[in-house]
Amino acid sequence: MRNLCSKAAAPVTGDLAIDHEQSAQYKRTSKLASFQPSGAADAQPLPPLHDFELSWMGPNGFVLTGIEFIGDK
Does 1 score more than 60 pLDDT? no
- Residue 72 is assigned to a structural domain of this protein: no
| CA quadruple 51, 56, 62, 67: dihedral, nearest 10 | -20
- Residue 24 is assigned to a structural domain of this protein: yes
What pLDDT, on a 0 to 100 scale, did the predictor assign at position 43?
A: 72
Give the pLDDT band (50/70/90) at residue 6.
low
What pLDDT, on a 0 to 100 scale, did the predictor assign at position 55?
A: 94
- Residue 4 is assigned to a structural domain of this protein: no
Domain count, the chain: 1
Give per-residue pLDDT as tens, 8-66. 777 778 889 999 988 877 889 999 999 888 876 667 778 889 999 999 999 988 999 99
β-strand partners of 14 = 37
- Residue 47 is assigned to a structural domain of this protein: yes
Identify the domain containing residue 40 by its residue range.
Answer: 14-67
What pLDDT, on a 0 to 100 scale, did the predictor assign at position 66?
A: 94
The CA–CA distances, whole Å, from 62 to 56, 57, 59 equal 5, 4, 8
What pLDDT, on a 0 to 100 scale, did the predictor assign at position 4?
A: 55
- Residue 19 is assigned to a structural domain of this protein: yes
